[in-house]
Amino acid sequence: MRGKLVAGNWKSNGDLVANRRLLEQVRASAASMHGVEAAVCVPYPYLAQAQQILGDSSVVWGGQDVSHFGAGAYTGAVTSTMLTDFGCKYAIVGHSERRAVFGDSDALVAAKFDAARKAGLTPILCVGESLQERESGVTETVVGRQLDAIMAVSGVAALARAVVAYEPVWAIGTGKTATPAQAQAVHAFIRNRIAALDAAVAAGLQILYGGSVKAANAVELFSQADIDGGLIGGASLVADEFMAICRAAVPRA
């Protein structure tokens, strides 16, 4: 049975003082929570702080991107092994902000995914369509292409140790959440596309939903058959809200 995962993506937010408060609150609150994994993906400079505060807790942490290069003359790049050095479990790859603002192509995202998994990180692969793509009826074409790019490089078996996050671009930071039915439809599409190649990998794959998730809409989203948790932006910066979202993912008896 697939477990639930709720991962915070802090994006470019935080400072040492605010992070400490947030991480300590998340850590304390997660101690009494069972049946869901809580993760925080923090900016690189704060990985050491996350490791120090969360080190002996149930909360895990990760980076928000990773270089596709190994060590070498790549000024500014952070390698996968640097992330594992700081205890990261996860690395987000292919977030729509990376794709749109920094120009990460499908091929580059696939190379980052491959570098991350080879270093023992669990990549959180983000996929999702823009508003224009949804309105043009090409959501499945876009998401399928983004998934296929990964499988072409790493193979379908690599998804056995990865997470996929469906994040419709039009729902990110807009307050406009996909309806549970809209999200479920794309999640089922993702699982079916992978199942066509490997049914066991598809059945075990955690597929998160991201885009304006709040405590108020999380229960309904997370109760969909193919939604295994969430990737949370803005709401992950507020400890009470983030932990309420995590609790919404706790399996009901």
What is the C-alpha separation between 91 and 121, in angstroms, rounded?
7
* DSSP assignment string, 171-230: GTTSS-PPPHHHHHHHHHHHHHHHHTT-HHHHHH-EEEEESS--HHHHHHHHTSTT--EE
Whether 95 is catalytic: yes
37, 68, 95, 241: the active-site residue: 95
What is the C-alpha separation between 67 and 185, in angstroms, rounded?
32
Considering the complex, what minimum distance in angstroms separates the CB of residue 199 from ligand 13P?
28
Tokens of 190: 């993702």
Based on its alpha-carbon atoms, the radius of gyration of the chain, rounded to whole angstroms, reads 17
Whether 37 is catalytic: no
C-alpha of 190 from chain center: 15
Considering the complex, what minimum distance in angstroms separates the CB of residue 47 from ligand 13P?
17
Q: Which is nearer to ligand 13P, 139 or 233 (CB)?
A: 233
Tokens of 82: 């640097």
- Site for ligand 13P contains 229 (CB under 6 A): no
- Site for ligand 13P contains 55 (CB under 6 A): no
- Site for ligand 13P contains 179 (CB under 6 A): no
Considering the complex, what minimum distance in angstroms separates the CB of residue 129 from ligand 13P?
14
Among 210, 221, 241, 246, binds ligand 13P (CB under 6 A): 210
Q: Which is nearer to ligand 13P, 201 or 239 (CB)?
A: 239
- Site for ligand 13P contains 231 (CB under 6 A): yes
What is the C-alpha separation between 98 and 108, in angstroms, rounded?
11
Residues lying near ligand 13P in the complex (CB under 6 A): 9, 95, 167, 172-173, 210-213, 231-235
Active site amino acids: 95, 167
